[in-house]
Amino acid sequence: MRDLRLSYPATLSILGGLFAIEFVLLAINPVSRSAWLLENVLVFALIGVLVFTYKSLRFSRISYTMIFLFLSLHEVGSHYTYSLVPYDEAWKNLTGTSLNIALGLERNHFDRVIHFCYGLLLAYPIREVFLRVAEVRGFWGYFLPLDLTMSTSMIYELIEWGAAVVFGGDLGHAYLGTQGDIWDAHKDMALASLGALLAMAITLAINRRLGRDVAAEFAESLRVKHPEPLGEETIARELAKRGND
């Protein structure tokens, strides 16, 4: 059977070209240039890491596509600021009805969607790192991507809080984007966690469908490989070894 997959250069050229076009278009007259710059600091950092590590850690086409989709959605939020993305107006123009009213929503929920997509779209690339760099297996190959997604979501909320405190005023408020919800950060982290959990559940289902013995892999990964306790026992052994040397 002929392999219909695009080559890596073709895949990256298409994804990179599409993102570059979107980036340039959405960089023109954003609602707040300062907020746009703040929102894109981590984007520049991520792209730099992907370029720098390409030779040593080339991700799968699936992972690159997921990263592209997340960054593309993020650029929409950075152009309008997340709380002002006019998705409801666009839906009204398309259907003549309000999506927010139909769903019973009282605020702009674009930021909620992006936090969910953070987990849904980036947990799998994170899994690739754990499997290929740390060589984790079984249970840990599903749990650690979820764990890192949750922790980085928390770190991002702390960054938002810090930026809001440092910059203050309209810029800090726009970057924080709580829209008056005191539980905004908690809900964002919960949605990112839910997205990652769903991504790992889908990955697990696919692996089972492909014939992987997931139960055996889980059991092996949870087996204690080194029964000797660590901590003070390890320190004592090391000191004794040095004394003997």
Reported as a single tens digit per residue, the pLDDT across 181-203 is 677 778 889 999 999 999 999 99
Whether pLDDT at 46 is above 60: yes
Whether pLDDT at 172 is above 60: no
Report d(CA 32, CA 175) in Å as an integer. Answer: 10
In the chain, what are the helix, strand and coil shares in percent, each to the nearest 5? 75, 0, 25
Asked whether 196 and 180 are in contact (CB, 8 A), the reply is no
The pTM of this model reads 0.87
Name which of 218, 201, 203 is nearest 63 in CA terms. Answer: 203
| Residue 23: inside a domain | yes
Which residue range forms the structural domain that includes residue 116? 8-244
Asked whether 145 and 195 are in contact (CB, 8 A), the reply is no
pLDDT value at residue 226: 84
pLDDT value at residue 173: 55
Whether pLDDT at 176 is above 70: no
How sure is the predictor about 9, in pLDDT bands with cuts at 50, 70 and 90?
confident
**pLDDT tens digit sequence for 136-166:** 999 999 999 999 999 999 988 888 777 777 7
Q: What is the mean pLDDT of residues 114-125?
A: 95
Name which of 190, 199, 171, 168 is nearest 66 in CA terms. Answer: 199
Query: Could you give the number of structural domains in the chain?
Result: 1
Report d(CA 200, CA 145) in Å as an integer. Answer: 8
| Residue 114: inside a domain | yes
Whether pLDDT at 1 is above 50: no
Q: What is the mean pLDDT of residues 95-108?
A: 84
Give the range among 46-50, 119-123, 145-149, 161-165 with minimum mean pLDDT: 161-165
| Residue 146: inside a domain | yes
| Residue 170: inside a domain | yes
| Residue 1: inside a domain | no
> What are the b/e assignments for 55-88, b being 16+ CB within 10 Å?
eeeebebebbbbbbbbbebbbbbbbbbbbbbeeb
Q: What is the mean pLDDT of residues 18-31?
A: 95
pLDDT value at residue 199: 97
- What mean pLDDT is reported for the chain? 87
pLDDT value at residue 103: 83
| Residue 120: inside a domain | yes
| Residue 3: inside a domain | no
What end-to-end distance do the CA atoms of the chain give, in Å?
A: 62
Whether pLDDT at 8 is above 60: yes
Q: What is the mean pLDDT of residues 220-237?
A: 84
Strand, helix or coil for residue 85 = coil
Percent of the chain with pLDDT over 90: 54
pLDDT value at residue 202: 97
